[in-house]
Structure 1
Amino acid sequence: MDIRQLQYFLAIVDRGGYNRAAAALYVSQPSLSQAVRALEHDLGSELFHRIGRRAVLTEAGRALIEPARAAVRSLETARASVAAVHELRTGRLDVASMPSQAVEPLTTLIRIYSHRYPGVVVSVKAVFTAREVIDAVRTGTVELGLLACAGPLPEKEVSTLALKQQRFVLLVPPDDPLAGRFSVAREELSGRRLIVGQRGTGMRAYVDSLHEQGVAFEVATEIEHRVALLPLVLAGVGLAVVTESWRNLAHRAGARVLNIEPATALNIGLASRRGALSPAASAFLATARAEPGGC
């Protein structure tokens, strides 16, 4: 067994099949298959069921995922530690982020980090819930993750650095009767059409809680693609409850941003795996700690 075989195995898992994995790795499909067969021979067990063009994990394959990620991540950390001697001139940092936190504070953090370490490539993985962030960090899919939650930040499975809170705000088009206001009471959302995200997110949980409190809004659109929120608001499809990380972007696009009263906020944190981190991840954490007010 060697690290290349584990990397090939994980590429098939992450890409969903041999052909996509081979394309991502820039190797031929027969070479990839041969490496996986050799790994299976060393382990004495099949890792995938071949069903047509699909590769379905066996029980042994599922058991290998987490230790394989740990092994690959440990090698990457070792290589990065050597590269740190050269002041992080090169390298890669994998970060998972929920959509709103990818707007802010991730944008600011990457801007500062990239200015200090221009040779390090920051790769951002999109996830939609705090649970997905924790799982991605815990299993080694990424080293760091930005998450938001209504309650205390998780500390059981990962380490978290508390950043600032983000309150909920309302996005409205410039011609809406509310557009000239600074704030809106949550009861005033009754009778309005809202664009909402998918279940499992903090934003959706907040909107659902309003409904439970008797705010009788209508759901205009339920959407996972946050990039469509602003266009839908500006097109008059509905209003959107988001976190204030959207404030500057929404203003530049021409939407109006109103505080929702009474104020309710999410706690924002930067999660890291327990144990040694690569120099690139350690430097990113240091960047976050150094920002006034947690970014």
Structure 2
Amino acid sequence: MDDDMDVRELECFLAVVDQGSITRAASVLHLAQPSLSQIIRRLEADLGVELFRRVGRGLVLSPAGEALVGPARQVVRDLHHARQVAEGYRGLERGRVDLAISTSLTASFAAAWVGDFRRRHPGLTVRIIRHDGDSEEIVALLRSGEAELAYGVAPVQRQGIECVHIGEGEIVLALPPGWGTDFPDPVPVALLDGLPMIADQGFGRAYIDSIRDAGAVEPAVVVEVSEPAGLVPLIIAGAGAAFLPMRQALAAGRRGASLRMIEPLTSRPIYAITSAGPLSTPARRFLELSRENLDRWRRAVTTRTDRGMTLLEASIDADNAIEAAYRRLAEKRPLVSGPLA
């Protein structure tokens, strides 16, 4: 196919094919019949072949014309798709996305999502409101317009609210530096009985209560904090162990914490919550990138576990690969694509 061929010529060619005549095609295309005839002749001249043969008052495709139909349709479809994508991202040069994010996700996932979003769309700003996971609070933030997009670890079911499960986050036992030499990986829940623990008032406290109720295992809560973001400094200082989401646990590991998976494997669901109406372009793009970020992480870890690594080894290796990729890209240029291998 000639590189200089105008896609409009292909659209006109396909209109004649579909309508069966120049007259009907011209009417559909809102063109004068002589103008459409001229376009078809120009296309035939560009290709050096006859595309139609006149039979009575109608037109039939020549063999060359029949061969062109499939490729022409594909080119036109691809162009339409490209236009839709471009139109979908129009407005990403400037603007703001207002987010409401659970405190239990802020320290583990939100930083990665916001960083990816800002690297890709530096003209956009992000406003983050933290919520404690209460459904009524989330719904109020969305309905008031204070937030357009919310993330949480529990489903929200209310009229006019859409809630979609977008991924999972494994929970890891993070122990202070020097602890953990007697703990296997994974560590059975039964070995946590009496372990000095730091508990946040959200997931950490709830999980400790659940394992106590399920198996008479009761870690000793020695420190309580209001938000998960305060856990890591206390762990590193030796105040106690804590249950952390994987990404936050890996950050603690880089500071010297000992990490262990828990048996049985423990994870938290992650939900995206919005009002039922359409999202703004920045909010829609943020939601897409947060899902892509979770998917890339899952694929990166799965690739490594398929090679024989444990889940914790795979997560540490994937996290190190991300950190190294970000450092390299920061030295060269802004990140424009995900670094996971």
User: Under TM normalisation by the shorter chain, which class is it?
Assistant: 0.5 to 0.7
Q: Any idea what SS the aligned residue of 2:153 has?
A: strand
Q: Can you list the C-alpha shifts for 1:205-236, whole angstroms capped at 9, x where unaligned?
A: 21111121311221101111333211111222
CA distance in structure 1 between the partners assigned to 2:240 and 2:228 by the alignment: 14
Contact 1:174 1:254 in 2 (8 A): yes
Q: Report what 1:171 is aligned to.
A: 174
* Aligned partner letter, 2:265: A
Distance 1:291 1:226, change over 3 A: closer
Contact 1:130 1:148 in 2 (8 A): no
Q: Report what 2:232 is aligned to.
A: 230
Q: Report what 1:88 is aligned to.
A: 92
Contact 2:165 2:269 in 1 (8 A): yes
Bigger helix share: 2
For residues 1-295 of structure 1, what are the structure 2 equivalents within 5 Å? 87-131=91-135, 132-149=137-154, 153-157=155-159, 158-178=161-181, 181-198=184-201, 201-213=202-214, 214-291=216-293, 293=295
CA distance in structure 1 between the partners assigned to 2:273 and 2:247 by the alignment: 18
Higher relative contact order by CA 8 Å / sep ≥ 6: 1 or 2?
1
Q: Can you list the C-alpha shifts for 1:134-189, whole angstroms capped at 9, x where unaligned?
A: 4422432201111113xxx3343422332221122111012114476422111111
Contact 2:208 2:218 in 1 (8 A): no
Deviation of 1:122 after TM superposition, in Å, equals: 0.4
* Aligned partner letter, 1:119: G
Rg comparison, structure with higher value: 2
TM-score by length of 2: 0.55
Distance 1:177 1:279, change over 3 A: closer
Contact 2:180 2:258 in 1 (8 A): no
Q: Which runs of 5+ in 2 are unaligned?
A: 1-87, 298-341
CA RMSD of aligned residues (A): 2.5
Q: Report what 1:22 is aligned to.
A: none
* Aligned partner letter, 1:218: A
Q: Which runs of 5+ in 1 are unaligned?
A: 1-83
TM-score by length of 1: 0.63
* Aligned partner letter, 1:238: G
Distance 1:148 1:179, change over 3 A: farther
Q: Any idea what SS the aligned residue of 1:109 has?
A: helix
Deviation of 1:88 after TM superposition, in Å, equals: 2.1
Contact 1:130 1:147 in 2 (8 A): no
* Aligned partner letter, 1:278: S
Identity of aligned residues (%): 27
Contact 1:98 1:133 in 2 (8 A): no
